[in-house]
Amino acid sequence: MLESLGPLTGSPWIYAVVVVSVLLDVFLPVLPSGVLVITAATAAAAGSTTVVDAAEKVTQVTQVPREVPSLLLVMLCAAGASVAGDLVAFRLARRGGDRLARLIARSRKLTTAQARLGEALSAGGGALVVIARFAPAGRSVVSLGAGAAHRKVKEFLPWSALAGVAWTVYSAGLGYFGGQWLGASWVGTVISVLALFGAGALAAFVVRRPSARRQPQPAV
C-alpha cells in the first residue's frame, strides 16, 4: 500500500488529501479516511529507523533520505477536519431539519441507525458521541441527528472535538506504531487497518446494546 501511495505520502499534498477525506466522510462514510490516516502515519514511521550500537549499547535514530509526512501535522489535519466536518453537517441539519427528516425516512438503514443511536445517547449521554465516531456511519448519524434535533452547539462541540481527537490518535497510533514494530510494509498497514475495523465493529455493538435492552419481550 505504501508503494502505491508513495508519491502521495512523499508530497505535501498528503495533508490536503487527509483534510478533504476526513472533512467529507461525514457525508460520504464510504471514503477511506481512516485508512488514509493510517497509511500517512505508517509513512511517517518509515522516516526513521532504529539502530543499536552493540559496542556502546546506544540507540540512535537514522533519518531515511526521502520525504515523509509529519505525524503531528497529519494528526492536526485529521482532528481539525473531523471537527469541522461535524460542525458543517450539524449546521446543515439544523437549518433543514424537516427536509433532512424526510430524506432519512426514505432510508430504512439510516432510520434504524438514528433511532438506535438516539436511544443510546439518551441512556449514556455525550460519551456515546465518542464511541459512535468509530462505528460505521456513526459520525454521520450523530452530527446530522444532533443538528436535526436542534441541540445547542455548546452541547455538541466538546463531544465532537473529543471524538475527533480520540479517533485521530487511535488511527494515527495504529499506523505509526504498526510501522515501527512491523515495518513500513503492506503487512503492517493491513494489520493496522484490521484493528481500526475491529474498533468500529466493537463501537457499533456498544451503540446498539441499549436498543436491544429496550426491545419489548414477546408475550408467552
Backbone region of residue 137 per phi and psi (left: phi > 0; alpha: psi in -120 to 50; beta: other values): left
Instruction: Note the pLDDT of residue 192.
Output: 85
Q: Quick one: pLDDT band at residue 58, thresholds 50, 70, 90?
A: very low
- For cell 499506523, the residue is 175
pLDDT of res. 74? 93
Amino acid at the residue 91: R
With a cut of 70, say whether residue 210 has pLDDT above it: no
Over range 61-76, report the average pLDDT: 71
pLDDT of residue 88: 93
Higher pLDDT, residue 5 or 42: 42
Q: What is the pLDDT of residues 124-179, one digit of tens each?
A: 567 778 888 998 888 888 888 778 777 788 888 888 999 999 999 999 999 898 88
Tell me: pLDDT of 195 over 60: yes
Helices (H), 60-107: 71-95, 97-105
What are the two backbone dihedrals, phi and then psi, of residue 215, each rounded to the nearest 5 degrees? -65, 135
DSSP string of 178-212, one letter each residue: HHHHH-SSHHHHHHHHHHHHHHHHHHHHHHHHHHH
pLDDT for 82 beyond 90: yes
pTM above 0.85? no
- Neighbouring CB atoms inside 10 A of 78's CB total 28
- pLDDT band for position 46 (50/70/90)? confident
Beta bridge partners of 49: 62
What's the average model confidence in pLDDT over 33-51? 77
pLDDT band at 185 (very low <50, low <70, confident <90, very high): low
Domain definitions of the chain by residue range: 6-213
Torsion from C-alpha of 192, 83, 20, 90, nearest 10 degrees:
120
For residue 63, pLDDT over 70 is answered with no
What's the pLDDT at 72?
93
Burial (0-12, 13-18, 19+ Cβ within 10 Å), 39 = buried
Residue 113 CA to residue 139 CA, distance in Å, equals 11
> Backbone phi, then psi, for 197, in 5-degree steps?
-65, -35
Question: How does residue 115 score in pLDDT terms, banded at 50, 70 and 90?
Answer: low
